[in-house]
Amino acid sequence: MLIPFVFTLQVRPIFNILNHGSKFFMESGKFSIDEIMIPYYGRHSTKQFIYGKPIRFGYKVWALCASDGSGVYFEPYCGADTNISDAGLGQGPNVVLDLCEKANLPPGSETYFDNLFTSFPLLDQLSEKQIAGTGTVRQNRLAKIPIIKKKELEKKERGDKEVLYSEDQVLVGWKDNKGVYMATNKFTGESHTTCSRYSRKDKKKIQVPIPEMFINYNGGMGGVDLLDMMVACYRVRYRIRKWWFPIYAWSLSVCAVNAWRLRMQVTGVKEPFLDFLRELCVAMMAEHGSPPVRRNTHVTDPADGARFDGLNHWMVGTELDAAGKNRRRNCRHCALQKKPDMKTVYLCEKCKVPLHVHCFKGRIFYF
């Protein structure tokens, strides 16, 4: 049985905080919906395998992102226990409707998704919410629609198309390198502009007519992929076997990408993500970090009178560790001489300075 993320105390607060802090990117107006894979190669009942993905093993997350690559809302996938409302339209359309509702997308927003999510009942629901939806369509979902078949479409010249209208919905079959179907409830299927494509026959680039909805789809669909790419550039490295830690590390990277996007949006100045990440790490360490504490910082050099008084200098064992054994510490004399074997389990009882027995006998305590 799958362990639901919804009832898991380690994970649900992470997504709640992440979704609460992503409300700054609602003004973009264009959003893309897709899936994200968080790499995880251990054993867990919610781990997924997706063939052909850059990250094949890991946790799957439904993501709604702005077109510039800023994360807006995330929902982890955990099978039948996924926290997605059932609208009776199937898994893909249910995800789109639920993310739009939870993210509180304002009327007039534009959403883009691939053929996993697109369906004509979904476009009807989005029209009722006054939200535009555009996505590619699978051929097996066009069985009862009188549009040109894909085999016939691919025999046509590049740039040819066929358009069907039904109320506010538009379905276009367009011949690019291959036949592509796309549906929308906002844009038209008219070809007012062209795109550049390489022609093997002419051995040069040619201009091909492209429908309006395809131009808008190409400009708004890549938000989730942009976020995933920026997270993968400087992914947090860890060696922890806890199943929830990859999700925590991924959430930190998403927050860093969102903060970088937000600062460029406020200042209007473009800057490399690596420079921002370095500045962020330095600021966090200065605010919350502390310098490393050396194990022997409590050892102080005694005064010359105590060093050479010849009284009560006894060799004793160092303090005990958790296993009940004497801790190995660096001999003061050997460290100054840069000798290879510096570890000792003895120290001077009076001076509290780690020393080998032969170093103590030589009366060379600290120099």
Q: What is the pLDDT of residues 155-188, one digit of tens each?
A: 888 888 888 888 889 999 998 888 899 999 988 8
In the chain, % helix, strand, coil (3-state, to 5) comes to 35, 25, 45
State how far the alpha carbon of 327 is from the alpha carbons of 156, 269, 296, 347, in Å: 80, 54, 12, 11
For residues 80 and 228, membership in a common domain is answered with yes
Whether residue 171 lies inside any domain: the answer is yes
Domain carrying residue 73: 1-106+221-290
Q: If you average pLDDT over residues 57-83, what whole number do you get?
A: 89
> Which token pair is 12?
């649900």
Question: For residue range 97-145, what is the model confidence (pLDDT) as tens digits?
Answer: 999 999 888 888 999 999 899 989 999 999 999 999 999 998 888 878 8
Verify that 2 and 52 share a domain, yes or no: yes
C-alpha–C-alpha distance, residues 75 and 282, integer Å: 31
pLDDT in the model for residue 59: 92
Round to whole Å and give the CA distance between 143 and 195. 30
Question: Does one domain contain both 13 and 75?
Answer: yes
Q: Name the token pair of 308.
A: 């050479």
In a domain? residue 180: yes
Tell me how many degrees the CA angle 184-185-191 measures, rounded to the nearest 5: 55
- Residue 61 placed within a domain: yes
Q: Within a domain: residue 366?
A: no
Give, in degrees to the nearest 5, the angle at Cα 20 between 17 and 24.
130
Q: Are residues 91 and 228 in the same domain?
A: yes
Does 212 lie in the same domain as 127? yes
The answer on 93 and 8 residing in a single domain is yes
- Residue 89 pLDDT exceeds 90: no
Residues listed for the chain: 367
Residue type, 286: A
What average pLDDT does this structure show over 182-201? 87
Q: Yes or no: say if 183 and 134 are a contact pair by the CB < 8 Å rule.
A: yes
Which of 255, 290, 325 is the endpoint of a domain? 290
Q: Are residues 99 and 235 in the same domain?
A: yes
In a domain, 295, yes or no: no
Secondary structure class of 154 (helix, strand, coil):
coil
Angstrom CA distances, 329 to 86, 108, 334, 359, stand at 63, 68, 11, 14
Residues 235, 205 within the same domain: no
- Does residue 37 surpass a pLDDT of 80? yes
Do 102 and 1 lie in one domain? The reply is yes
In a domain, 331, yes or no: yes
Domain boundary among 259, 290, 321: 290
CA distance 19 to 241: 26
Using pLDDT thresholds of 50, 70 and 90, give the confidence band for residue 297.
very low
pLDDT at 296 over 80: no
Instruction: Considering only CA atoms, give the Rg of the chain.
Output: 32
Using the predicted structure, report yes or no on whether residue 328 has a pLDDT greater than 80.
yes
Asked if 199 contacts 206 with a C-beta cutoff of 8 angstroms, the reply is yes
Tokens describing residue 155: 């025999």
- In this predicted model, which residue has the larger pLDDT, 289 or 229? 229
**Strands 132-136, 110-113: parallel, antiparallel or unpaired by DSSP?**
parallel
Among residues 203, 219, 235, which one ends one of the domains?
219
231 in the same domain as 95: yes
* pLDDT over 50 (residue 96): yes
193-199 and 204-210: which strand pairing? antiparallel
* More confident call, 51 vs 302: 51
Residue 100 shares a structural domain with residue 1: yes
Instruction: Judge if 96 and 231 occupy the same domain.
Output: yes
Tokens representing 262 are: 């937000």
* Structural domain count, the chain: 3
63: pLDDT strictly greater than 90: yes
The yes-or-no verdict on residue 288 having pLDDT over 80 is: yes
Neighbours of 153 (CB within 10 A): 20
Confidence of residue 1 (pLDDT cuts 50, 70, 90): very low
Q: Percent of the chain, pLDDT > 70? A: 90
Phi first, then psi: give them for residue 20, nearest 5 degrees: -70, -35
pLDDT of residue 365 exceeding 60: no
pLDDT of 45 > 80? The answer is yes
Q: How confident is the model at residue 363 (pLDDT cuts 50, 70, 90)?
A: low
pLDDT of residue 181: 92
Residue 10 has pLDDT above 90, yes or no: no
Q: Kindly state whether residue 367 falls inside one of the protein's structural domains.
A: no
The H-assigned helical ranges of 37-181 are 91-102, 120-128, 150-153
Burial code (b: 16+ CB inside 10 Å, e: under 16) for 189-224 equals: bebeeeeeeeeeeeeeeeebebbbbbebbeebbbbb
227-251: average pLDDT: 89
Asked whether residue 238 is domain-assigned, the answer is yes
Kindly report the average pLDDT of the chain as a whole number.
85
Distance CA 315, CA 348 (A): 5
Provide the pLDDT for residue 362: 65
